[in-house]
Amino acid sequence: MENKLTIEGGEFLIKKTEAHEIFIPEEFDEEQKMIAQSCDDFLETEVFPNLENIDHQEEGLMSNILKKAGELGLLGISVPVEYDGFGQSFVTSMLASERMGAANSFAVAYSAHTGIGSCPIAYYGNHEQKQKYLTKLATGELLGAYCLTEPGAGSDANSGTTKAVLSEDGKYYILNGQKMWITNGGFADVQTVFAKIDNDRVYSAFIVESSWEGITYNPEEKKMGIKGSSTRQIFYNDVKVPVENLLGKRGEGFRIALNILHMGRIKLGGNVLGGAKRAIDQSVNYSNERKQFGQLISNFGSIKQKLAEQVIKTFISESAVYRVSKNIDDAYEVYKNMEGCDYGRALMDAFGQFGSEAAIMKVFASEALDYIVDEEVQIMGGMGFSAEMPADRNYRDSRINRIFEGTNEINRILVTDTIIKRGQKGSIKLFEKAKEVVAGLDNLKDDYTPKGYFEDMSHYVENFKNVALMLMEAAVNKFDRKLVHEQEVLNSIADILMNAYVAESTMLRVQKLEAIKPADMYSLYKDILDVYVFEAASLIYKHALDAIYSIEDEAMTEKLLNAVKVYTKVAGVNTKDARRRIADKLIEENRYCF
């Protein structure tokens, strides 16, 4: 295989992607579908009947369910075969994460164990560490946790004060400090703990066993949602960590933490899809049962609009999630063939490569789920506000996703800043393309002639990207190194980038579906695309104006304003009828069927 990526992180902005180059969920093979079905069956048997008991943190219940998942192989889907896993692709592990994402608090425990709880050892551990710990994490014999956050170190993770000092005999690191908001903290057997050795500026990472002397815990945190998830503060008082339990190299901990967060962000983007689809099922089920004014509420236009919008947000998020997941798999295949790059480093490099796209999906999908569960409550009306209905749990449990894996505020900044830095370093030809766009603004005219459905959609998407490019150029020119302090401008550009990426991902998926789906169903996918692109144009226009007036470049303002009008012009769409058609199919099937 040629050691060259087909597309680099952030390069979607300057490189046109063809439909055949992306992966879509409709292409899952039989083995992947069987794994998904195993996840569904497990939830129906072990989790959904126990949701109430899980929320009340019945002693031993969550850990027992996780161990049962391990016995079925559901904790080791992406762990290499030599360490008792199934060695599946990242796309497959994302599919499992999606299905498990329907399980409220259990989804959090599952994701913490299979993701941040196991992956640091899987990706950075040496053979002995993997043999000792990863094999048992993969089977559920051991359960894992990830200990990064401290009372004074949240989004600014590297500002933590937990210390590790080498013992006089050189056999141990003596660990002292405190960690908080540790998911699975109450029952995890193995912890990845981040601490600074001596006076190091950056973290190192350590594998710590919970049974070691000197580790104590605060009681379980009382939380707004995900009540069944174990969340504790953990204290380390002169804990003796064998030197062989240093994970990776000294001072490499911060890099490990960042790369694991890239992985966690994209995994969360997939995880929320399961919650979204289950919430949609519950919404349409209720609307097909509840009568008002002598008829089912699913007959009313306002309810259809909500149901359709739930579907649209889920479908478009899913389109982008699996696109970048396959990009990560492809990058891994390239990196693993490079000299001196083992499995873990290759996969970590792949996650790092698509850090901006991972941040996009974390923000976009978590906010989509928040919308979906909010409308689930609204569709159910007074019953939706009752703690007896599933909407109550879904609504509360969704909220944490905008805080997990770095707040959405941090991730919005990362989306824009990461792509700009890749351009400044020459990793992608960002500013060459941006300067080309800006140079053409003097002669920019609103004279596009429609050419055909996908030709027009492609034109709109390229124009959305042009808005982001010209604003990045203007912002960098105006603020230079101070741009990092102009968070509002970075946020506006991030929202443009997110909508451009998701619009393109959805367009390419729909284009690919033309050869797969029957005409009546395919027309509904076009409805989804039409409504979203029409609305994305308005959102991009609004965010662009915010950025332009915030940049305040007198020489450029009029050019940029004119360009935004041209670049966000799309054909009109009867969104009412399109949404009704989408909702009618959902109502007919009485389940998410897209």
CA–CA dist 13, 494 (Å, integer): 12
Long-range CB contacts (within 8 A, 24+) of 473-480: 473/431, 473/434, 473/435, 473/437, 473/438, 474/438, 474/547, 474/548, 474/551, 474/553, 474/556, 474/560, 475/547, 475/551, 476/420, 476/431, 477/553, 478/551, 478/552, 478/553, 479/551
Task: Choose the catalytic residue: 150, 357, 405, 473.
Answer: 405
Q: Is 405 among the residues known to form the active site?
A: yes
Sign of the CA dihedral with 494 first, then 347, 369, and 503 last: positive
Give the residue from 259, 410, 326 showing the smallest Cα distance to 90: 326
Strand partners of residue 216: 235
**β-pairing verdict for 190-197 and 144-147:** parallel
CB 74, CB 42: distance < 8 Å: yes
Residue given tokens 């332009």 in the structure block: 548
Give the residue from 432, 274, 261 showing the smallest Cα distance to 354: 261
CA–CA dist 124, 136 (Å, integer): 16
| Residue 383 backbone phi and psi in degrees, to 5 | -65, -30
Give Cα 206 distance to the centre of its chain. Answer: 26
User: Following CA atoms 450, 570, 472, 359 in sequence, which dihedral angle do they give, to the nearest 10 degrees?
Assistant: -110
**Which active-site residues does the annotation give?**
405
